[in-house]
Structure 1
């Protein structure tokens, strides 16, 4: 599933051509506040390579997102991560600031959940959210994820939300 669309977004499988957009996204301090902080371009390049390899290994991963007019909007996806030494599959999303507060995160979370549970037939998905990120918590709650627990990830207090098939 290299491409998909929602009402207002088109998604394309992550590839090398997306590096400049990802670098700009990850250099924005406000966007990166709940992503572990601003990432240097070299770190984003490693991130891109790692996430392209995820596609090759698992058949799913991250997509870049564009608005219907073609403007880069952000990134989102479904990927394996380790949480408390357990292999989990999370949905993740990050948008440029000009796309905040317009329902894009809820739109993509709903699409990712449907892809993960219905099309990929995964048994469950999680969302990992910094405790203080109220907006992202509300997105997951609106998408019917249930708060499962608190934990610490990379030195940050986070909450784990889960939805099951």
Structure 2
């Protein structure tokens, strides 16, 4: 499924998912997103400190785009072109705590998302994550889509449920007081 990747992966009624280009503008938007303590409340202190550091992060993401719908996709509002946040589908073992969670199979893809506070409560995460989950499971090489969020992050786990993932179990996450809630949708269920 590899090859040249279009800048735009998909469009919904309100949103456009496009590749991050590695420009200063994209990197600055990521820096701004992660600088909001409320956005990072359930994620932790993993923000980078400069536009250059986010340009490098975007470079690290480039291999994910080789197998669409894999990638970290900028979520733009179609009407304005504003970046509201991002959504990704990537191999689950790439997660920084994959071993603690038990994600060892490259055939499982992790779903993740992060949005500006002003975008919360509008259904944007569900609107763009749903098509990504369906596209991922349409690939015969993918056995499941998985996700994790702190059990206290009910808004995030609710998105997982709305796009069809099912609660599987709790897991202790190193460095966090609250456990993680692991969700999964296997090919057989999808």
TM bracket, shorter-chain basis: 0.7 to 0.9
Please tell me whether residue 39 in structure 1 is matched to residue 50 in structure 2. Answer: no
Describe the shift of the 1:13–1:154 C-alpha distance in structure 2 as closer, same or farther (beyond 3 A): farther
The answer to whether residue 125 in structure 2 is matched with residue 105 in structure 1 is yes
Name the CA distance, whole Å, in 2 between partners of 1:24 and 1:141: 28
Structure 1-normalised TM-score? 0.88
5+ unaligned residues in a row in structure 1: which ranges? none
3-state SS in 1 of match to 2:156: helix
**Residue of structure 2 equivalent to 1:67:** 77
- Tell me if 1:26 matches 2:34: yes
CA distance in 1, matches of 2:12, 2:84: 13
- The alignment status of 1:6 with 2:26, answered yes or no, reads no
Deviations 1:100-132 (A, max 9, x none): 0011111122121112112x3422101111111
When normalised by structure 2's length, the TM-score is 0.77
The within-5 A match list for 1:124-163 is 124-156=144-176, 157-163=179-185
Structure 2 segments unaligned to the other structure (5+ residues): none
Distance in 2, matches of 1:10 and 1:132, equals 29
